[in-house]
Amino acid sequence: MSSRESILGRIRTALAGDSPLDRPPAPEVWARQNPTTDEMSERFVREIEAVAGEVHRCRSMDEARKELLELLSQLDQATVGAVDRPLTRELTSQLAPDRIDWGAPDRPAQEMAQWSASVVAADCLLADTGTCMVACATAYERLMCYLPPVSIVVATAERLFEHLPAAWDQIAPRAADPAVRGEFVFITGPSRTADIEKILILGVHGPKRLIVLLIG
């Protein structure tokens, strides 16, 4: 039986009411090598730096906070926007209230574009491509990944996966839950385009600079 026939058969069975529509198994696209966390960290750093991204490896949250302060000192403006998550709250806990804007769903995009940087938390890090997966429940959270010129992504080493199929068990429950809105944004390096005369330009369709704070 082909994959197409298998999928259609499951759908027909579910529509007939004979059994619930089960979540599909993890796609077997790439074999799992089960690398160690250190091996995945090294691969993630290599891949993201190959596309002009930056990774700052931090041994602890305290070290990540110091790294964030140093990064913000390099920016023209002090205020940054942030998506409200436990990890971003913890990371920015030592910033003065006037230095960070937690925004709101109705915040105009024009104002968001004026922030010097955004701070978002990654749900998964894919080592084989240097990709950050960020769950965005609203359009506001999605725009936070695109509009500011600098995107700062924070994640712990526990969020590292060797590739997308290995992260399937983390992704599928959210994707299958009808009560959960939004989508995942896949971030692999800063925005880039070569549409004009094949000249590579960064920052046209999104952030010009991507910085990942990898904790652990």
| Mean pLDDT over the full length of the chain | 85
Rounded mean pLDDT, 19-25: 57
The confidence score (pLDDT) of residue 23 equals: 59
Rounded mean pLDDT, 27-48: 88
Q: What is the pTM of this model?
A: 0.81
What are the boundaries of each domain within the chain? 32-215
Between residues 174 and 81, which one has the greater pLDDT?
A: 81
pLDDT band at 118 (very low <50, low <70, confident <90, very high): very high
The confidence score (pLDDT) of residue 178 equals: 81
Within 8 A by CB and 6+ apart from 172, the residues are 23, 24, 26
Between residues 44 and 111, which one has the greater pLDDT?
A: 44
End-to-end distance of the chain based on CA atoms, in angstroms?
A: 45
What is the Cα–Cα distance from 130 to 177, expressed in whole angstroms? 27
The confidence score (pLDDT) of residue 206 equals: 66
What is the Cα–Cα distance from 100 to 78, expressed in whole angstroms? 8
Between residues 8 and 15, which one has the greater pLDDT?
A: 8
- What are phi and psi for residue 185, nearest 5 degrees? -105, 125
* 32-215 CATH, one of 3.30.360.10, 3.40.50.300, 3.40.50.10420, 3.30.420.270: 3.40.50.10420
Q: Of the spans 100-109, 126-135, 138-147, which averages the highest pLDDT?
A: 126-135
CA 60 to chain centre: 20
The confidence score (pLDDT) of residue 43 equals: 96
- Edge to edge, the sheet with strand 183-187 lists 160-161, 124-126, 131-136, 183-187
Q: Of the spans 27-36, 45-54, 184-193, which averages the highest pLDDT?
A: 45-54
